[in-house]
Amino acid sequence: LVIDSAELRLIELPLLQPFTIATGTMVRKVMPILVLRGGGHEGYAEGVADVLPDYLPETLASSMMMLRDVFLPQVVGKSFANPQEIERLFRPWRDHQMAKATVEMAFWDLWAKVQGLPLWQALGGTRSEIEVGVSLGIKDIPRTLRDVEIHVQQGYRRIKLKVMPGHDLKLLDAVRADFPDTHLTIDANCCYTLADMPVLRRMDDYALDYIEQPLAWNDLHDHVRLQAALRTPICLDECIRTLPDCRKALVSDAGRVINIKVGRLGGHTVAKQVHDLCLSHDVPVWCGGMLEAGIGRAHNIHLCTLEQFSRPGDTSSSSRYFERDIVVEKLETENGLMPIPRNGAGIGVTMDWDFLDSISTSVQAFPA
């Protein structure tokens, strides 16, 4: 399959409400949208890097530079028999997983469309019911209680609370008092250290399904020490950027649940490898999110059909974040289940081009 041409856009999409986590507040999404053309079809992907390196070192600017100067010039005009060949081509280049993923995911969509297969089938998925939860940004305790109430009532299968030092145990006391039986998790986005051990130990008291990424983004060693001190499973997010990261985490017991984010791992090929490794270790996985719009969200939903995605993911309704999405199809949960988008092959959604044009701040074609 020859990639005849590509189009790289930057779009800006306001969030319906600010989203605050331990490392900062986001009020709008600025993201690359990549279109790959070939074989009479178009493949789409979104990039997930933030403007500032507050989640991982990669940024929107570094992603755009790598796409323009390195990755797109390496693939446009070339032929690839399958998406794994793209992963192999980019493997020598260090890091930049989010930029790599943008190209690799768009090619998966294109390749699946050329085969006439829905992406879930091309990926080897088997699940038909995708259970989802929500990730609730940091707000004061009364407002968080209201958010929990709304989403429990909507049928979401798990509530994830963002926490940070000073906004943790009191919040958990309040939420557990009102919701004793809800599947509850917390996500610290790396903001604790082992010096916080007294607080971290008390987190065992709230029957949490897991504690997501409590310690530093590049420190598996300290997670091993923390997991040894806790009954609650640790779920790793930021720490898992490659397949070897995951292998080291599992063999050292740094965590007992893995959050799979396709952007953080450089694409579906490595996401699947991480999934398969977790399956062989009997470790549950779930699909994380980066506040994606409809293209990235559709990719995530298809990935969730792989067998070991046994815990509810973060791919909740698009309307929780955006007034209007960039795809025509509505990506909305019903009673905590997200339907797989099925409008045709590939990711099964179609671009709302008029809206996309109206929010694009730059468009670059390859070849120029």
Closest CB to ligand OSB among 237 and 245? 237
Q: Catalytic residue, from 29, 100, 113, 261: name it.
A: 261
Q: Is 58 in the site for Mg ion (CB under 5 A)?
A: no
Q: Applying CB under 5 A, which part among 10-18, 212-220, 267-275, 290-298 lies near Mg ion?
A: 212-220
Residue 289 interacting entry, from Mg ion, ligand OSB, none, C-beta within 5 to 8 Å by type? ligand OSB
Q: Is 292 in the site for Mg ion (CB under 5 A)?
A: no
59: exposed, middle or buried (Cβ count in 10 Å: 0-12, 13-18, 19+): middle
Rounded CA separation 203/188 (Å): 12
CB of 110 to ligand OSB, least distance (A): 24
Rounded CA separation 206/21 (Å): 20
Q: Please calculate the CA angle 131-279-306 and round it to the nearest 5 degrees.
A: 40
Rounded CA separation 247/277 (Å): 7
Kindly give the pairing relationship between strand 5-21 and strand 360-366: antiparallel
For residue 162, indicate whether it is catalytic: yes
Closest CB to ligand OSB among 19 and 80? 19
CB of 88 to ligand OSB, least distance (A): 28
CB of 220 to ligand OSB, least distance (A): 17
State the DSSP string of 180-192. Answer: TTS-EEEE-TT--
Rounded CA separation 92/83 (Å): 16
Q: Is 237 in the site for Mg ion (CB under 5 A)?
A: yes
Closest CB to Mg ion among 110 and 287? 287
Q: Applying CB under 5 A, which part among 14-22, 184-192, 304-312, 334-342 lies near Mg ion?
A: 184-192
Closest CB to ligand OSB among 257 and 345? 257
CB of 141 to ligand OSB, least distance (A): 19
Beta bridge partners of residue 187, listed in sequence order? 162, 212
Where in 68-97 is the site for Mg ion (CB under 5 A)?
none
CB of 237 to ligand OSB, least distance (A): 5
Residue 291 interacting entry, from Mg ion, ligand OSB, none, C-beta within 5 to 8 Å by type? ligand OSB
Q: Which residue is nearest to ligand OSB (CB)?
A: 289
CB of 210 to ligand OSB, least distance (A): 12
Closest CB to ligand OSB among 147 and 187? 187
CB of 296 to ligand OSB, least distance (A): 9
Confirm if 340 and 302 have CB atoms less than 8 A apart. yes
Residue 366 interacting entry, from Mg ion, ligand OSB, none, C-beta within 5 to 8 Å by type? none
Residue 55 interacting entry, from ligand OSB, Mg ion, none, C-beta within 5 to 8 Å by type? ligand OSB
The one-character DSSP state at 71 is I
Closest CB to ligand OSB among 168 and 187? 187
Confirm if 110 and 104 have CB atoms less than 8 A apart. no
Q: Catalytic residue, from 100, 139, 162, 272: name it.
A: 162
Beta bridge partners of residue 19, listed in sequence order? 26
The one-character DSSP state at 341 is P
For residue 170, indicate whether it is catalytic: no
Neighbours of 25 (CB within 10 A): 11
Residue 23 interacting entry, from Mg ion, ligand OSB, none, C-beta within 5 to 8 Å by type? none
Closest by Cα among 262, 251, 255, 245 to 284: 255
Neighbours of 2 (CB within 10 A): 12
Closest CB to Mg ion among 313 and 348? 313
Specify the 3-state DSSP secondary structure of 361: strand
φ and ψ of 309, to 5 deg: -75, 70
Binding site for ligand OSB (CB under 6 A): 55, 135, 187, 189, 237, 288-291, 314, 316
Q: Please calculate the CA angle 7-348-36 and round it to the nearest 5 degrees.
A: 15
Rounded CA separation 262/170 (Å): 33
User: Roughly how many angstroms between the first and final C-alpha of the chain, as a whole number?
Assistant: 21
Q: Is 187 in the site for Mg ion (CB under 5 A)?
A: yes
The contact set with Mg ion (CB under 5 A) reads: 187, 212, 237
| Catalytic residue annotation | 162, 261
